[in-house]
Amino acid sequence: MSDSVLVGYATRYGSTREVAETVAATLRAQGLAVEVQPLRAVRSLAGYRAVVVGAPLFLFRWHSDALRFLARHRAALAQRPVAVFALGPVHDPYDEAEWQHSGDQLAKALAQTPWLTPVALKLFGGKYDPSKLRFPIKQLAGAAPASDLRDWPAIRAWAAALRPLLTGRAEG
């Protein structure tokens, strides 16, 4: 097993990829070797010591690439530390009920993989850009305004705290 960490992401509109890249940059700044890959492009976990999985919630579900990734790599993931994050809530200002619903959606998704015990699990706010939506999603989404609830200091702080959880050591 190599020493590098995989930060794998799923995305539809790009905002989760940007969060994955920020998580990776934060881990690199702590001296870890990190690769960022779309989850659907990952063929083997043989080269990685630990994995961070990030994907958005979309139409009441976690992105299917994330669930497929967990199922496909179950045996390898069971032997490695795995941290999980999701993007979801987009209502600005803060809407407690929305965060609750998004958290429930994520919990429901992860209930499908009871063998997985993430070393860290986090829900972040997402980005909503109605100009990127196409039929029929545009019609479904209604008239909500554009927003970006990604909290970059919170994302960096979460990533910075991952290091000992992913490597089993605080330094070195």
Name the residues that contact ligand FMN, by CB under 6 A: 11-16, 56-60, 87-90, 102, 105, 126-128, 133, 137, 141
Other Cβ atoms closer than 10 A to 33: 12
Q: At what angle do helices 15-29 and 152-167 cross, to 10 degrees?
A: 50
Cis peptide before 136 (omega within 30 of 0): yes
SS3 48: strand
Q: Which residue has the tokens 């870890």?
A: 32
CB-wise, 130 or 156, nearer to ligand FMN?
130
18 or 76: CB nearest ligand FMN: 18
- For residue 28, the minimal CB distance to ligand FMN (Å) is 21
Please report how close the Cβ of residue 34 comes to ligand FMN at its closest, in angstroms.
19
By beta-carbon proximity to ligand FMN, the closer residue of 35 and 148 is 148
Shortest Å, Cβ 124 to ligand FMN: 8
**d(C-alpha 160, C-alpha 7), whole Å:** 14
* CB closer to ligand FMN, 33 vs 141: 141
